[in-house]
Structure 1
């Protein structure tokens, strides 16, 4: 079969080089590496043939060992399987590094030039330039790093990948060989579950090594190209941070860990400044700057290496001294080396003394519990009746009178109540140390009514904060299908509340609303989740415009399309007139961080893509991006049909049992990937509503079935064809960027599915019919997606991404066979404790490898 040009480039730049460099593993001076590396290709091929024949994992693995008599006893077999897993883990790292080193060669940057082309066009089009500059005055992209466990490289491995990328770019075989040796010796997993602070340290690697440089570079490029004066600069790229602040469902986060993370972020930032300042100091050796250089030396050094207990924001001092140096260089030294001073100044103006905004998040039930603790402890002071919880929503809103008090709490409070009240007070100290931007948002998960937000504001006013200096944004998170339906009514109640309206005015009339994709998909399926959020955005925008509120949508997106990932920049470029899009805010997590922002090239590309999407959606909106009432009716019907199909699946009595017994769902709770439990109410029997969306989606992806990313879509599209709406759906796909991206991302989920791996399940006495039902919907969805996109294979329009996904799926196929084999052995229940532990460890390690390989989300 003849390859397309892009496929040929990928073949030469990535796949061929991967095969070449992969051979270096065989030369590593480690015991048994050569034997493992020699046998692995035979094992991989054996797995492929076994899958083609629809053999069970036991049949595949047992028949392999029959051919290799050296591994005749169970212990040596398990040892070899474990070495295969370790070997493949490192192959995945090598593939990551090769792919990233080839980033420009395989054409990824073709799209990133869109922003540059747009800005270049403005040089000869003053009207376009005026519009772009006007747009940028009230536009920003905020990337919020979360510790959600969807990718498991520790910081040490990330550093090796980074160095490997450089060595591969230079074709430095000697250094590549040394780095592969380092990789062979470096552990991939934690011996203990990470704490929230550990997670922050791990993610800080990206802040220090990528975002610190890239964010200021892009800002400088745009400002210089558009001729924007430094004094008028509006920060375009903002960073947010959840480790240490996100306590929703994570009892391991405390006010103490929040304080440690805030201190950590500040200290790391100053060390970045200090490294840059040493370059400045080495070059700026002229008369007239001594005093300013001494001031900066002390500021940067002391904050880097001798941080005090309660620091203050020293941004203004730093800026003042850097600007003074600029003046001396201009007036006395012909601007010699002024560019390195400019660069440091821009970074300081971008990151201040805080680096990234630390968000606080907690579930509404905990906040309500804390509120009720206070009114029961202080009935007279608060003036609120102890039967508050039994009041109607309207009466609750009336009862909250926003009285300013400074109340204490004691041992009667639960740990979660104490943490809530402590962190509310701690936020004042964090803001003193790094300005309001250091920590200014409190996100209310599971927000269901206006009193959830009003009650939280009241908790702040009972904890010493004053109304006129309450520098906190209260951010409701709407996630389930029902919550999204009610969201507009909730916000209208807030906008019409006189006290809350005053607070909004204090906050520049800007309201941030978070919308979560993960639980929406788990709750209602792929199509309904995305359509519910899109519809909610239209309603919420209309309400905000009615009350003259500047609305900011903050999207809780995960890595895979089933959790809101995929071609996210295309969503933002196609929001249409009915959706507020002046600010783009989204979570990035797990493999999304390493794949999209793990290197300078990829980070610059993806940030510029988002910036371009936000600008172009306003300046050059396509008429088809604002859906007509008829089109909305069609999508609404498709979403309903898909939802019903998904809910029938969820209600199937085998649904949860299938996941528990055939996927590695149980193993997710035992591996050291996150400080947060795999499910809420972790000490109770598993219920779907308690299962975290990450665990839910990960379990399906390990089965290579990816149900949350497509199930119900095919049934809905078939209905459209049978009811004479197919031409309308086709037109929708061609004209609406939102709908096209929705369908294309669904194809990505399906490309990463492989029902052949689990085809043996169709013969299972208990789950056979259930598997067939899943497979039937996969086939019908594939048929209609290909028909709708007028293509012959999934993701045909994205050949580079398709080839990358298929290559990675091929690498991890042996891991999946080993994993499913180990699950079956454990489920049979015939093992002693020692052997059971060995197989459980085998499952855990395969999970790491499969997830790390599945980084293709954009």
Structure 2
């Protein structure tokens, strides 16, 4: 263990581990019914769980033994009432643990160490790379796109308490800590109604105002002060994206009205942030000539946000012009006093403009075909036989549209809203600037036609070919679509009309690649390898067509959805993969866990910046992998894919997920506005099922199939072919391969098979359970063998301890949830009409909150 890891581990033990034990005692004073007794009984249940699983007892046996030996409760209803009180108690323990981790972030992590901008500065200066850095920063950027994907179970009120509690914990203010814990005791975690897309947007706007605004300002100020000529004001190196209110893929609750409302909220939010910044600056800049400019700006901001109907035509350039006037006055008349305040403000305006975060619109590809067929039925826009034409004929029609839709009425609300949405983008650009909304993402994109359907719709909605200020972004997700993506883009690049559109977009083409659905479709290794190969081939095709491709990664929190040690993947990319920008989604618990405080947001943004910049400046390898190494990974991916496919095609697979996991209760948790599955039949279909409930179900089973399944089999297969030594060399040489296995370890460390070991002898599911368990053991064996470690994650001691403590906290919750699932199975299998079934269902759903939150992601 290196010095930094050792120091971080000791800080974690002192500032999180010990403090958790100390402050946990305050829970006895929380305003719960018989809370003291609940706390004592919970500790007994904790011991019962640990002992019971060692004795290979089932969750039902553990819970029944607990009640019979440790309590006087005999009636089922009073037993269930106590289990609900345990859930409430544990949920709040998890909040305390989260707050302690947030409060100690600066002490546990070296804010000036490897991967930070301070470290980058020393690397650049030592190697005389100042000119190369300036050249890189002229077109490099990190874009973080906040999404409302439902992996976060905390309501906004609880997130606020975590934030306040963290601050109190930093100063060990016992009175405030006790007060916030009492507030927590009275604050409900369960949402009786689903949030609207606008509610989701407002929750994330809080992070923009309170976290990203400050963290981005700090980073920009550091770079501009250390490397004054490196930043182009017209090219911010950090930008924010936003999906709530724009992402309508399978979400019937997002409409054009919602999109406009969210865009207006983003505009109002950044103006409010500027208004507050001006008020702070005014306390220092009290000089003649400066005070009047600030006063006028303050009035302008005030009118835009506090006076109804007073939205003025203020714009980014106008604000910057006034701030530069102030800057000149400070330099020439006031010896540069407090100049840093204005520089910091200018940096923020350059980044956030009047949009704060760019609102992306996303829709599923089949919708656009439906809309175009509906339009074709109206005379004068498209041939009436449009639906029967070939793809080539359709493309030719779409790129040659020269008519504009009039005020047509469409019976299908989806058709009408899609058209209204495309028209609303122009309205947003008029008020928020072009950056306010300038990307249209096509999910489940599988052809060039899918892209040009959207292009044609923009033309029909009144946009001109030479003034189409929107990037059309294909999203490739499945294994097959990733393989076909280069051919799709080659066809698009060769189309003269689309090529002209790209010329007007600075010859940049953004392509989104989805990890979540890729993993659901192809398993862990194939998804990651498929995306790597797609990036490599798409980079080659784009370069050949003189197009700069920008990759946008749809990453979730857990490794199985592209998360984990994300920055290490970007640091590992070779020069054969386009690295002009790093763009990725930030969703669910990743928002609060990695960007929940200004310090953690600054640290993690710097890690991404450092990865992208050093990959260019200090990576001398032209390609990441040699041919022989690629062949090894290709073989691993293919064997892994075959193994995963055999599991997915097992006739019991969907029933297993549905009956022994909490999958079917996801939609009832009310954590997100989106349905748990895309529109389809009533029967559970993996194609329609969204990746988040799919991954989350495996997570709560503590089997985490999507994070490792197939890896062990593939490593064993190559070992039997005599290629194990080559794999060890690859592991020690390739950061890409090592990070793949490191993230695998994280998924496995969050697995706990004793929880479901009762299924090993189940009449229906024993075979599938044993297949999964055997693969888990095989993967662990080979990862330890190839890495030379004695314990998984031993090279990440802080993460290892955090996971271990969190898993121990939620062990009773896992047991309660499986206890309820087992009882429901018995009721259903034996056709029992039980009045307790509904209560068991609520137990399953309520247990999900603490289990998911404790992992701070879904795996």
When the two structures are superposed, what TM-score results if normalisation uses the length of structure 2?
0.96
**Distance in 1, Cα, partners of 2:311 & 2:295:** 23
Aligned to 1:128: 129
Shift of 1:843: 1.2
> Given that residues 282 and 291 in structure 2 are in contact (C-alpha distance below 8 angstroms), is that contact kept between their aligned partners in structure 1?
no
Shift of 1:114: 3.9
- Confirm whether residue 588 of structure 1 aligns to residue 586 of structure 2: yes
| Aligned CA distance change for structure 1 residues 274 and 832 (closer, same or farther; 3 Å) | farther
Deviations 1:246-288, CA, capped at 9 Å, x for gaps? 0001111100111111111111111111111111223333322
1:603 counterpart (601, 604, 610): 601
The farther-off stretch of 182-191 and 612-621 is: 182-191
**Distance in 1, Cα, partners of 2:714 & 2:199:** 45
| Aligned CA distance change for structure 1 residues 144 and 365 (closer, same or farther; 3 Å) | same
**Distance in 1, Cα, partners of 2:116 & 2:273:** 31
Aligned to 1:800: 798
1:774 counterpart (761, 772, 776): 772
| Aligned CA distance change for structure 1 residues 99 and 547 (closer, same or farther; 3 Å) | same
Shift of 1:563: 0.6
| Aligned CA distance change for structure 1 residues 637 and 113 (closer, same or farther; 3 Å) | closer
Alignment of 1:77-476 (within 5 A): 77-107=79-109, 109=111, 111=113, 114-123=116-125, 125=127, 127-228=128-229, 232=233, 234-306=235-307, 308=309, 312-378=313-379, 381-382=380-381, 384-408=382-406, 410-476=408-474
The farther-off stretch of 178-187 and 68-77 is: 68-77
**Distance in 1, Cα, partners of 2:858 & 2:247:** 24
Shift of 1:819: 0.5
2:23 counterpart (10, 15, 21): 21
Deviations 1:272-321, CA, capped at 9 Å, x for gaps? 11111111223333322344233212211112222538754522222222
| Aligned CA distance change for structure 1 residues 746 and 42 (closer, same or farther; 3 Å) | same
| Aligned CA distance change for structure 1 residues 232 and 433 (closer, same or farther; 3 Å) | closer
> Given that residues 597 and 606 in structure 1 are in contact (C-alpha distance below 8 angstroms), is that contact kept between their aligned partners in structure 2?
yes
Shift of 1:8: 4.2
Shift of 1:831: 7.1
Aligned to 2:732: 734
> Given that residues 313 and 435 in structure 1 are in contact (C-alpha distance below 8 angstroms), is that contact kept between their aligned partners in structure 2?
no
> Given that residues 576 and 622 in structure 2 are in contact (C-alpha distance below 8 angstroms), is that contact kept between their aligned partners in structure 1?
no
Shift of 1:184: 1.0
> Given that residues 594 and 600 in structure 2 are in contact (C-alpha distance below 8 angstroms), is that contact kept between their aligned partners in structure 1?
yes
Shift of 1:5: 6.2
**SS of the residue 1:688 aligns to:** coil
**Distance in 2, Cα, partners of 1:730 & 1:119:** 33
**SS of the residue 1:757 aligns to:** helix
**Distance in 2, Cα, partners of 1:231 & 1:752:** 44
> Given that residues 278 and 294 in structure 2 are in contact (C-alpha distance below 8 angstroms), is that contact kept between their aligned partners in structure 1?
no
2:75 counterpart (59, 73, 76): 73
Shift of 1:100: 1.7
Shift of 1:696: 0.5
| Aligned CA distance change for structure 1 residues 765 and 54 (closer, same or farther; 3 Å) | same
**Distance in 2, Cα, partners of 1:311 & 1:153:** 37
Aligned to 2:687: 689
**Distance in 2, Cα, partners of 1:403 & 1:313:** 35
> Given that residues 103 and 109 in structure 1 are in contact (C-alpha distance below 8 angstroms), is that contact kept between their aligned partners in structure 2?
no
Aligned to 2:610: 612
> Given that residues 304 and 310 in structure 2 are in contact (C-alpha distance below 8 angstroms), is that contact kept between their aligned partners in structure 1?
no
Q: May I ask how many residue pairs the two structures share in their alignment? A: 852
Deviations 1:532-556, CA, capped at 9 Å, x for gaps? 1100111100000001111100000
Shift of 1:40: 1.1
| Aligned CA distance change for structure 1 residues 55 and 311 (closer, same or farther; 3 Å) | farther
Aligned to 2:842: 841
> Given that residues 274 and 304 in structure 1 are in contact (C-alpha distance below 8 angstroms), is that contact kept between their aligned partners in structure 2?
no
Shift of 1:736: 1.2
The farther-off stretch of 80-89 and 385-394 is: 385-394
> Given that residues 116 and 603 in structure 2 are in contact (C-alpha distance below 8 angstroms), is that contact kept between their aligned partners in structure 1?
no
Shift of 1:470: 0.7
| Aligned CA distance change for structure 1 residues 97 and 112 (closer, same or farther; 3 Å) | farther
| Aligned CA distance change for structure 1 residues 229 and 554 (closer, same or farther; 3 Å) | closer
Shift of 1:7: 4.2
> Given that residues 393 and 449 in structure 1 are in contact (C-alpha distance below 8 angstroms), is that contact kept between their aligned partners in structure 2?
no
| Aligned CA distance change for structure 1 residues 227 and 110 (closer, same or farther; 3 Å) | closer
Deviations 1:211-241, CA, capped at 9 Å, x for gaps? 0111121011111101227764630111000
Shift of 1:688: 1.2
Aligned to 2:534: 536
**Gap regions ≥5 residues in structure 1:** none
Aligned to 2:548: 550
**SS of the residue 2:668 aligns to:** coil
- Confirm whether residue 576 of structure 1 aligns to residue 567 of structure 2: no
| Aligned CA distance change for structure 1 residues 256 and 741 (closer, same or farther; 3 Å) | same
Deviations 1:343-375, CA, capped at 9 Å, x for gaps? 222222221111000000000100111112112
| Aligned CA distance change for structure 1 residues 817 and 229 (closer, same or farther; 3 Å) | closer
> Given that residues 561 and 857 in structure 1 are in contact (C-alpha distance below 8 angstroms), is that contact kept between their aligned partners in structure 2?
no
> Given that residues 119 and 129 in structure 1 are in contact (C-alpha distance below 8 angstroms), is that contact kept between their aligned partners in structure 2?
no
**Distance in 1, Cα, partners of 2:357 & 2:314:** 14
The farther-off stretch of 111-120 and 503-512 is: 111-120
| Aligned CA distance change for structure 1 residues 616 and 124 (closer, same or farther; 3 Å) | closer
Aligned to 1:755: 753
The farther-off stretch of 680-689 and 746-755 is: 680-689
**SS of the residue 2:441 aligns to:** strand
**SS of the residue 2:328 aligns to:** helix
Aligned to 2:37: 35
Shift of 1:111: 4.4
- Confirm whether residue 784 of structure 1 aligns to residue 782 of structure 2: yes
**Distance in 2, Cα, partners of 1:112 & 1:576:** 20
> Given that residues 804 and 856 in structure 1 are in contact (C-alpha distance below 8 angstroms), is that contact kept between their aligned partners in structure 2?
no
**SS of the residue 1:555 aligns to:** strand
**SS of the residue 1:400 aligns to:** helix
**SS of the residue 1:758 aligns to:** helix
1:562 counterpart (555, 560, 563): 560
Aligned to 1:631: 629
> Given that residues 565 and 857 in structure 1 are in contact (C-alpha distance below 8 angstroms), is that contact kept between their aligned partners in structure 2?
no
| Aligned CA distance change for structure 1 residues 668 and 30 (closer, same or farther; 3 Å) | closer
**Distance in 2, Cα, partners of 1:645 & 1:121:** 44
> Given that residues 370 and 417 in structure 1 are in contact (C-alpha distance below 8 angstroms), is that contact kept between their aligned partners in structure 2?
yes
- Confirm whether residue 49 of structure 1 aligns to residue 47 of structure 2: no
Shift of 1:205: 1.4
**Gap regions ≥5 residues in structure 2:** none
| Aligned CA distance change for structure 1 residues 111 and 823 (closer, same or farther; 3 Å) | farther
> Given that residues 588 and 857 in structure 2 are in contact (C-alpha distance below 8 angstroms), is that contact kept between their aligned partners in structure 1?
no
| Aligned CA distance change for structure 1 residues 123 and 722 (closer, same or farther; 3 Å) | closer
**Distance in 2, Cα, partners of 1:286 & 1:104:** 37
**Distance in 2, Cα, partners of 1:307 & 1:806:** 52
**SS of the residue 2:56 aligns to:** coil
Q: Give the superposed CA RMSD.
A: 1.9
| Aligned CA distance change for structure 1 residues 427 and 107 (closer, same or farther; 3 Å) | closer
**Distance in 2, Cα, partners of 1:629 & 1:346:** 44
| Aligned CA distance change for structure 1 residues 386 and 54 (closer, same or farther; 3 Å) | farther
**Distance in 2, Cα, partners of 1:552 & 1:468:** 22
Shift of 1:834: 5.8
> Given that residues 555 and 586 in structure 2 are in contact (C-alpha distance below 8 angstroms), is that contact kept between their aligned partners in structure 1?
yes
Deviations 1:61-106, CA, capped at 9 Å, x for gaps? 1111112343221121111111111111111111111112222322
